[in-house]
């Protein structure tokens, strides 16, 4: 063994700072077959001349190149081939970077969403302006007894989308202006998605301008919302305002986040015009 300068698989793994399992995986993928395998013990040995190939594999894996493409290059070691594969890999890395940046922004939005829900004053009505936002609406009559009643409507909004949408914390329901004025606070007739800036949706998207709303946060879910609509409409009437559109009832914390109903938080917004 010493004369042929063969090294055990464990020693090679240590030299290249990779696992024995990775070396076995490279063998199974046809990238790097051991120089010698002991027929009695099954021990694998590698020669010095294989180190360059292993270093190339390790380098290309650091660049996140798939094993299949690495195998293609090793089978046709050519400058043009590796240049082409590196350029393609660079494009993929740029795409992944954009995707990761989008994921990071979504995480930031969700963290802010949770912080707002946990720090907002409950059962207190506020009059405030909300910045521009985008929604996707679906007209549908709903009677909400639990969060499960929303599932079918959500799936309908999701269909025909090439990319999966993340609904966590972004789903809401609404009551039309006519039903609000008629005091029909249990008759939801709209389901919507509140889109983040980076979200793309294939279908009709409604762009909303800055909006003045009366709003309230309360502990509970949609099934407990009716009493808060009464409070909001009373506030609107007492302050000589007019309802300007459909309500937006947004789940901030619900069963998708916690099993403890005492920690559920829902927000209701009703757009208004000051007279």
Select the more confidently predicted residue: 28 or 158. Answer: 28
**Would you say residue 187 has pLDDT above 90?**
no
What pTM does this model have? 0.67
- For residue 256, the model assigns a pLDDT of 75
- Beta strands 211-219 and 126-130 are antiparallel
* Band of pLDDT at residue 105, cut at 50, 70 and 90: confident
- For residue 169, the model assigns a pLDDT of 47
User: Which structure tokens are listed for 79?
Assistant: 């400058």
Fold annotation for 6-77? Multidrug-efflux Transporter Regulator; Chain: A; Domain 2 (1.10.1660)
- Runs of H (alpha helix) within 120-271: 151-158, 177-181, 226-238
Domain boundaries, the chain: 6-77, 120-274
Closest by Cα among 137, 120, 153 to 219: 120
Rounded mean pLDDT, 124-147: 79
- For residue 172, the model assigns a pLDDT of 84
- For residue 178, the model assigns a pLDDT of 94
Rounded mean pLDDT, 9-17: 93
| Three-state SS at 152 | helix
- For residue 1, the model assigns a pLDDT of 44
**Sheet architecture: strand order including 6-8:** 6-8, 44-47, 36-37
Q: In 10 A of CB 117, how many CB atoms?
A: 22
Query: Residue 113 contacts by C-beta under 8 Å, 6 or more apart in sequence?
Result: 169, 252
**Would you say residue 204 has pLDDT above 70?**
yes
- For residue 100, the model assigns a pLDDT of 87
**Would you say residue 2 has pLDDT above 60?**
no
- For residue 146, the model assigns a pLDDT of 52
User: Which structure tokens are listed for 150?
Assistant: 């929303």
Closest by Cα among 180, 252, 171 to 218: 252
Rounded mean pLDDT, 164-193: 81
User: Which structure tokens are listed for 11?
Assistant: 């020693």
- For residue 165, the model assigns a pLDDT of 55
Closest by Cα among 237, 10, 211, 246 to 130: 211
- For residue 168, the model assigns a pLDDT of 44
Dihedral (CA of 5, 10, 16, 22) sign: positive
Fold annotation for 120-274? Multidrug-efflux Transporter 1 Regulator Bmrr; Chain A (3.20.80)
Q: What is the pLDDT of residues 165-179, one digit of tens each?
A: 554 447 788 999 999
Alpha-carbon distance of 16 to 66, in angstroms, equals: 19
Q: What is the pLDDT of residues 32-91, one digit of tens each?
A: 999 999 999 999 999 998 999 999 999 999 888 999 999 999 988 888 988 999 999 999
Is 56 within 8 Å of 35 (Cβ atoms)?
no
For the chain, give me the number of helices (H) and strands (E)? 8, 12
In whole angstroms, how far apart are CA 196 and each of 19, 108, 166? 41, 11, 10
- For residue 3, the model assigns a pLDDT of 44
Lowest mean pLDDT among 183-187, 217-221, 253-257: 253-257
Select the more confidently predicted residue: 8 or 109. Answer: 8
**Would you say residue 267 has pLDDT above 90?**
yes
- For residue 109, the model assigns a pLDDT of 84
Q: What is the pLDDT of residues 21-32, one digit of tens each?
A: 999 999 999 999
């Amino acid at each position: 063994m010493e004369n042929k300068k063969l090294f055990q698989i464990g020693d090679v793994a240590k030299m290249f700072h990779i696992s024995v399992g990775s070396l076995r995986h490279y063998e199974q993928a046809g990238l790097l077959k051991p120089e010698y395998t002991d027929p009695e013990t099954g021990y694998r040995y590698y020669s010095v001349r294989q180190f360059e190939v292993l270093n190339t594999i390790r380098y290309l894996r650091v660049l996140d190149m798939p094993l299949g493409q690495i195998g293609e290059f090793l089978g046709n070691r050519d400058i043009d081939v590796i240049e082409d594969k590196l350029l393609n890999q660079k494009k993929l890395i740029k795409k992944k970077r954009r995707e990761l940046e989008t994921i990071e922004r979504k995480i930031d939005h969700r963290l802010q969403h949770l912080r707002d829900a946990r720090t907002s004053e409950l059962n207190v009505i506020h009059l405030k302006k909300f910045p521009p936002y985008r929604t996707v609406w679906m007209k549908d009559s709903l009677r909400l007894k639990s969060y499960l009643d929303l599932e079918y409507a959500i799936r309908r909004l999701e269909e025909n989308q090439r990319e999966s949408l993340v609904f966590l914390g972004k789903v809401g329901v609404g009551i039309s202006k006519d039903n609000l004025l008629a005091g029909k606070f249990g008759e939801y007739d709209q389901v919507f998605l509140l889109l983040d800036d980076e979200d793309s949706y294939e279908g009709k998207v409604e762009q909303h301008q800055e909006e003045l709303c009366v709003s309230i946060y309360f502990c509970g879910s949609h099934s407990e919302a009716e009493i808060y609509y009464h409070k909001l409409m009373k506030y609107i009437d007492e302050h000589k305002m007019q309802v300007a559109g459909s309500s937006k009832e947004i789940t901030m914390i619900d069963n998708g986040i916690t099993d403890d109903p005492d920690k559920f938080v829902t927000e209701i917004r009703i757009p208004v015009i000051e007279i």
